[in-house]
Amino acid sequence: MLNKVVCLAIPGTAPFEFGVVCEVFGIDRSDMGGPRFDFAIATADPGEVPMSLGFSMNIPNDLSIAADADLIAVPAHKIGPVDERYLEVIRAAEARGAWVLSVCSGAFVLAQAGILEGRRATTHWMHADRLSAEYPGIEVDPDVLFVQDGKVVTGAGTAAGIDAALHIVREEYGATATNVIARRMVVPPQRDGGQSQYIPTPVPECRSDAFALVIEWMLEHLDQDLTVDQLARRALMSGRTFARRFRAETGTTPAAWLNRQRILRAQTELEQTDDGLEQIAQRSGFGTAAVMRHHFLKVLGTTPTAYRRAFGARVAG
């Protein structure tokens, strides 16, 4: 079980991405049913550590506290050579089977440590070509928010670090705990695509108030058979215009969006209730347990029964 998390404060670290790691893993949310992590920040030379924007932070812990961490997090960092001591910490974490997370250009630090060789990874789209050129042994995907390969998770630019960090929480604690953190952070809980080495782009929030209202209605009626024409009428558009605008707003099709939300609804119910699979399938909009099982296998790589066994028992405990 993920417990001890250590964030590396490397000179030149970007404060926003650093803050993302601290926000997800450094706040005790046990009063709301969320996880509480043993969180610490470490640097090679304790004391003042310069950040990328011209100010410094005082970090009292050296790298020895990272020796038994369950997760090592590397925020965005000014691209360039990194002190070998940080790289040794990262290599040791990967070798003992701990999680390793990078945010944005932090992927370059993981690449210097050698743990991305032969792996799929991502970084900020502005740096993707450079990462590919400097480390040709890495399969760089610039079109996703984050990638998991084994227990190494690389996040794309800036706020995508939230998605990557929440993905790790979900892998360890399930959807309910992840929702607690997301709700406190006032962000949508991003879901993964269920593949071990590739996570497609989760759905962003809508920029249009009109579409936000339609999406809110869709969430309230997931158990119904929702068609594009029906949704288009609610938005006062033609079916073709609605489908085009929906993709522009959310980055995906109405059908794909609905399927993702139905899986999320089913995950939550599997964790929080003892209801039968047929009941959950109907309330989630899948209709039957067989259809729900098909989508769980396709998207999450597991069955509803196995998912409940993994996460429902933890919630009950």
Does residue 232 have a pLDDT over 70? yes
Residue whose structure tokens are 């409940």: 308
Parallel, antiparallel or unpaired: strands 56-59 and 47-50: antiparallel
Neighbours of 32 (CB within 10 A): 12
pLDDT of residue 185: 86
Worst-scoring range by mean pLDDT, 125-134, 200-209, 281-290, 303-312? 200-209
Domains and CATH numbers, the chain: 4-185 (3.40.50.880), 203-317 (1.10.10.60)
* Cα four-point dihedral sign 136, 142, 73, 165: negative
Rounded to 5°, the CA angle 276-279-283 comes to: 140
Interval 175-184 mean pLDDT: 86
Does residue 203 have a pLDDT over 70? no
Neighbours of 138 (CB within 10 A): 22
Is 262 in contact with 224 (CB distance < 8 Å)?
no
Interval 118-126 mean pLDDT: 93
62: nearest Cα among 45, 75, 48: 45
Query: In the numeric block, which tokens belong to residue 134?
Result: 């400097």
pLDDT of residue 212: 75
At 307 the three-state DSSP class reads helix
pLDDT in tens, 131-147: 999 999 999 998 788 99
111: nearest Cα among 97, 128, 125: 128
CA 293 to centroid of chain Cα atoms: 23
Worst-scoring range by mean pLDDT, 18-27, 74-83, 147-156, 189-198? 189-198
Worst-scoring range by mean pLDDT, 81-90, 116-125, 140-149, 203-212? 203-212
Q: What is the share, in percent, of the chain residues with pLDDT greater than 70?
A: 91
Does residue 315 have a pLDDT over 80? no
Mean pLDDT of the chain: 88
pLDDT of residue 183: 83
Question: Which among 7, 22, 104, 206 is annotated as catalytic?
Answer: 104
- Binned at pLDDT 50, 70 and 90, residue 197 comes out as very low
Does residue 112 have a pLDDT over 90? yes
Does residue 6 have a pLDDT over 90? yes
305: nearest Cα among 270, 260, 268: 270
Is 104 among the catalytic positions? yes
Q: 254-272 vs 209-220: helix axis angle to the nearest 10?
A: 50
pLDDT in tens, 44-77: 999 999 999 999 999 999 999 999 999 999 999 8
